[in-house]
Amino acid sequence: MTVQKLPMVKAINESLRRALASDPKVLVMGEDVGRLGGVFRVTDGLQKEFGDERVLDTPLAESGIVGTAIGLALRGYRPVVEIQFDGFVFPAYDQIVTQLAKMRARSLGKVSLPVVIRIPYGGGIGAVEHHSESPEALFAHVAGLKVVTPSNARDAYWMMQQAVRGDDPVIFFEPKRRYWDKDEVDPGATPLPLHRAAVARPGEDLTLAAYGPMVKVCLDAARAAAEEGRSLEVLDLRSLSPLDFDCVQTSVEKTRRLVTVHEAPVFFGAGAEIAARVTERSFYHLEAPVLRVGGYHSPYPPSRLEDTYLPDLDRVLDAVDRALAY
């Protein structure tokens, strides 16, 4: 396959196809992932190509899906599980936190659980309740899990390759509102290490640290700021656990100012952890406190209010103004 311009759904689809083709132990399982190809069509055509022994339409029970995936992994399989929507993961939260995350440690390394859990997440698509949430911090807090999220189709392709190839459980958050954004995907490219952040746009005056759906918002904000003569550096973190603090540190020690941006509520969110770490690592480089932009401490609102709830270009630039005012 040569370089192609693909939307993120298709990039992940191609990545899963390649994983299924190259390793007979890889399975895809979840609700509606087979015959339908998933409600977002991420797994479109995979069951037809690999059969229902490799691509399993499961009963509608999230704990059951993750619990049986753990058993299959114990038997040597590498299940890639789909949770249909962010807000539906909680019936499986017990299995993920209590079993999946801890089993390797409690077996003193004798057991590995190479399970990837794909979760379409985030808002901005006008969905009904429980279909727009960003629960990533609830997973990043748990030792034993790795938590990653691509922001674009190009990264989604190789990050899924790496997630399936690794021997640890990975929570793979897919920004559903970026599913149909296209990017150039190069299947021949050597995949990067899974947990390495990227400088999505270099700049000098302030760093914006974002991931998943907010990277595009931050890039837009940086372009708008450039018109006013402000040079913003945008980091695409890609991975929340582990988080590439070296990349953040390098950037912040250059720009001396940091604003974190995510859809999830600010309180106890990824931004809080980043702010604390940056303070520890780069205290004397900072010209301003680390500011955080994110969701409010409320349940995700009805979709007619989501444009107000979600961080957008203006809210990012407002925080940029405040940080630069110090």
Partner 1 sequence: MTTGTVQFLNHEGELTSHPDHEAEISPDGLRKLYHDMAWSRRMDAEAVTLQRQGELGLWPSLLGQEAAQIGAGHALGAADYVFPSYRDHGIALCRGVDPLDLLRMFRGVTNGGWDPAEKNFHLYTLVIGSQVLHATGYAMGLAKDGSPGAVLTCFGDGATSQGDVSEAFNFAAVYHAPIVFFCQNNQWAISEANERQTRVPLHQRADGFGFPGVRVDGNDVLACLAVTKWALERARSGEGPTLIEAFTYRMGAHTTSDDPLRYRDGEEVAYWNLRDPLARLRTLLEARGWADGAYFDTVAAQCEERAVDLRARLRATPDPDPGDIFAHVHADGHALVDEERARFAAYQATFADAAGRGE
Strands (E), the chain: 4-7, 26-30, 55-57, 78-82, 116-121, 146-148, 170-175, 182-185, 198-201, 206-210, 232-236, 239-241, 258-265, 291-295
**With binding defined as CB under 8 A, does residue 166 bind partner 1?**
yes
Which of 15, 43, 47, 58 is the binder for partner 1 (CB under 8 A)? 58
Question: What is the closest distance, in whole angstroms, from the C-beta atom of residue 17 to partner 1 in the complex?
Answer: 20
Whichever of 104 and 315 has its CB closer to partner 1, that residue is 104
209: β partners: 235, 260
Q: Are β-strands 206-210 and 146-148 bridged in parallel, bridged antiparallel, or unpaired?
A: unpaired
Number of shown-chain residues binding partner 1 (CB under 8 A): 47
Q: Confirm if 37 and 43 have CB atoms less than 8 A apart.
A: yes
Burial class (CB in 10 A: 0-12, 13-18, 19+), 284: exposed
The enclosing H or E element of 245 equals: helix 245-255
Region near partner 1 per CB under 8 A, out of 34-42, 71-79, 123-131, 152-160: 71-79
Does residue 98 belong to the site contacting partner 1 (CB under 8 A)? yes
Per-residue binding string, partner 1, 109-128, x by CB under 8 A, is: xxxx-x--------------
Smallest distance from the beta carbon of 103 to partner 1, in angstroms? 8
Of the pair 70, 156, the CB lying nearest partner 1 is at 70
Tell me whether residue 141 is exposed, middle or buried, using C-beta atoms within 10 angstroms of its C-beta: 0 to 12, 13 to 18, 19 or more: middle
Question: Can you tell me which of 1, 21, 36, 74 binds partner 1, judged by CB under 8 A?
Answer: 74
Candidate residues 28, 55, 69, 208; the one interacting with partner 1 per rule CB under 8 A: 69
Q: Closer CB to partner 1, residue 108 or residue 325? A: 108
Q: Does 105 bind partner 1 (CB under 8 A)?
A: yes
Task: Tell me which residue of 163, 216, 124 sits closest to 19, measured CA to CA.
Answer: 163
Residue numbers 15-44 binding partner 1 by CB under 8 A: none
Among the options 130, 131, 285, 297, which is catalytic?
131
Interface with partner 1, residue 137, by CB under 8 A: no
Site of tokens 């069951």: 47
The owner of tokens 């979600």 is 310
**Separation CA 243–CA 147 (nearest Å):** 9
Q: Is 279 in the site for partner 1 (CB under 8 A)?
A: no
CB of 273 to partner 1, least distance (A): 10
Candidate residues 103, 214, 286, 323; the one interacting with partner 1 per rule CB under 8 A: 103
Kindly identify the residues of this chain, within the stretch 227-256, that bind partner 1 according to CB under 8 A: 241-245
Span interacting with partner 1, options 3-11, 43-51, 117-125, 138-146, rule CB under 8 A: 138-146
Instruction: Let me know if 297 is a catalytic residue.
Output: no
For 126, list phi and psi in degrees, rounded to 5.
Answer: 70, 35
Taking CB under 8 A as the criterion, the residue among 94, 205, 312, 318 binding partner 1 is 94
Q: Is the dihedral of CA 247, 251, 252, 253 positive or negative?
A: positive
Asked if 168 interacts with partner 1 (CB under 8 A), we say yes
3-class SS of residue 32: coil
- The dihedral region occupied by 95, where left means phi > 0, alpha psi between -120 and 50, and beta the remainder, is alpha
The footprint of partner 1 (CB under 8 A) covers 53, 58-59, 61, 63-64, 66-77, 91, 94-95, 98-99, 102-112, 114, 143-144, 146, 166-168, 195, 241-245
Residues marked active site are found at 131
